[in-house]
Amino acid sequence: MQWQLLAAQLINGIALGSTYALIALGYTMVYGIIRLINFAHGDIFMLGAYFGLIAISSYNLSLIPAMIISMCLAALVGITLDRIAYRPLRQSPRITVLITAIGASLLIQSLAQLIFGADYRSFPAKAIPIKIIRLGSIIITNRQIIIFGTAILLMILLHLIVNYTKLGKAMRAVSMDKEAAQLMGINVDRVIAFTFAVGSALAAAAGILVGILYNSVDPYMGTLPGLKAFVAAVLGGIGIIPGAVFGGFFMGIAENMVVAFGSSTYRDAVAFAVLILVLLIKPSGLLGKRVQEKV
Residues that bind other proteins (CB under 8 A): 166, 169-170, 172-173, 176-177, 179-188
> Whose Cβ is closer to other proteins: residue 140's or residue 241's?
241
Nearer to other proteins, 188 or 260 (CB): 188
Nearer to other proteins, 96 or 163 (CB): 163
Q: Give whichever of 35 and 131 is closer to other proteins, judged by the CB atom.
A: 35
Q: Which is nearer to other proteins, 85 or 188 (CB)?
A: 188
| Closer residue to other proteins in complex, CB, 172/282 | 172
Nearest-approach distance from CB 166 to other proteins, in angstroms: 7
In angstroms, what is the minimal distance from the CB of 185 to other proteins? 4
Can you spell out the DSSP letters for the chain?
-HHHHHHHHHHHHHHHHHHHHHHHHHHHHHHHHH----TTHHHHHHHHHHHHHHHHHTT---HHHHHHHHHHHHHHHHHHHIIIIIGGGTTS-HHHHHHHHHHHHHHHHHHHHHHH-SS-B---TTTS---EEEETTEEEEHHHHHHHHHHHHHHHHHHHHHHHSHHHHHHHHHHH-HHHHHHTT--HHHHHHHHHHHHHHHHHHHHHHHHHHHT-B-TTTTHHHHHHHHHHHHHH-TT-HHHHHHHHHHHHHHHHHHHHHS-GGGTTHHHHHHHHHHHHH-TT-TTPPPPPPP-
Q: How far is the CB of 28 from other proteins (least distance, A)?
A: 15
